[in-house]
Amino acid sequence: MKKIALIIIMCFLFIDKVNASDELNIKAKSAIVIEEDTLTVLYEKDADLALSPASMTKMMSMLLTMEAIKSGKISLDDEVIISKKASSMGGSQIYLEEGSKAKVGDLLLSVALGSANDAAIALAEKVGGSVDNFVLMMNKKAKSIGANNTTFKNPHGLDEEGHLTTARDMALIASELLKYEDILKYTSLYETTIKHANGKSIWLVNTNNLIRFYEGIDGLKTGYTDNALYCLTATMKRNNMRIISVVMKEETKEDRTSDTINLMEYAFSNYYKETLIKKDKQLGEVFISNASNRKVPYYLEKDVSIILDKSERNIKYNYDIEIDNKKAPITKGERIGVLKLSSADKVYEYKIITLNDVKKANFFKRVYNNFIDITSGNLNAFFG
């Protein structure tokens, strides 16, 4: 593995996490604030307490739906035949009728705005084949992103024994959902109308009233049950920084609203985001001995950014670039190394990739490359 080390002096300080501040007086039983890209924790209060998420569960249902759309497994225009199970759901709903048809896009909108349980079941059956299989997918996805304290029992979030998560895990799930920026086209709407196949119109109003009454908030999902009480995962972008806040088990809707606003203002008032290396900057070239074009440029998969406290002083940090020993073929976007950014005892890793496919050299190309290596005296490449 090849390594390149660089040391940089900056007038910044890494923020690992900030414990709950008494002055905020957050009333939620559990809460957390993170920056969406770096996942830096800016505030937390009992963020690992296992609680019922209510309809915030639907963020995972929306995430799996968005993944299925991106992969081509389904499309927004696909029609879903409504099952008896979906049509019989109680709670928030859009009154789907058994045997009727609804488009994936309308179902997704109904989940995002109206928190419709019947639409959540219909999407689960479309994406997973069955609700049981979809729930398995939900739990598998949760573990894959590090939401290890989450167990889903259903796609909608109605109270069920063992259906539990944490504020920290909800924030992680929200950050994954936000990788699909199109979801904000749904969650940022305050109201809209959809039509059932029978021509009946359904008026949808966003259950997150901050979308209308607090400028900048554009998602993500509310929740309420008798057990979970009032919950909200919210998100907001200001300048180049997007914040995710989660509050769980609030006694009143008003507390949920005021806590969310206070957490957002706390985050934007105290922290900002600095981009150190842009992903479109070529970091270097790696020599792939069996490739058709052997000098392969490499880049970051995403920007290297840090979240900084506006009140802190100078700090020294460094980063290492480690390139894997790879052979062609290499697929576009495949990892070929890692950039490790470190400060004190904290290390942050960023994947290094190629922007194009790296093809394996055919026989004639290999003979040509070997001839060039021998005649130029580049025997290391020849024997590599």
Active site residues: 55, 58, 115
**Could you tell me which of 76, 54, 57, 56 has the C-alpha nearest to residue 65?**
76
* Helices 58-71, 131-144: crossing angle, 10 deg rounding: 90
Following DSSP, what letter does each residue of 255-276 receive, concatenated? HHHHHHHHHHHHHHHHEEEEEE
Q: Where are any strands of DSSP class E within 128-174?
A: none
Query: Are 275 and 305 in contact, with CB atoms under 8 Å apart?
Result: yes
56: DSSP letter: G
In angstroms, the CA 6 to CA 320 distance is 6
In angstroms, the CA 63 to CA 137 distance is 11
Per the structure block, which two tokens stand in for 270? 């105290």
* Helices 131-144, 117-128: crossing angle, 10 deg rounding: 80
Q: Is the dihedral of CA 47, 259, 270, 281 positive or negative?
A: positive
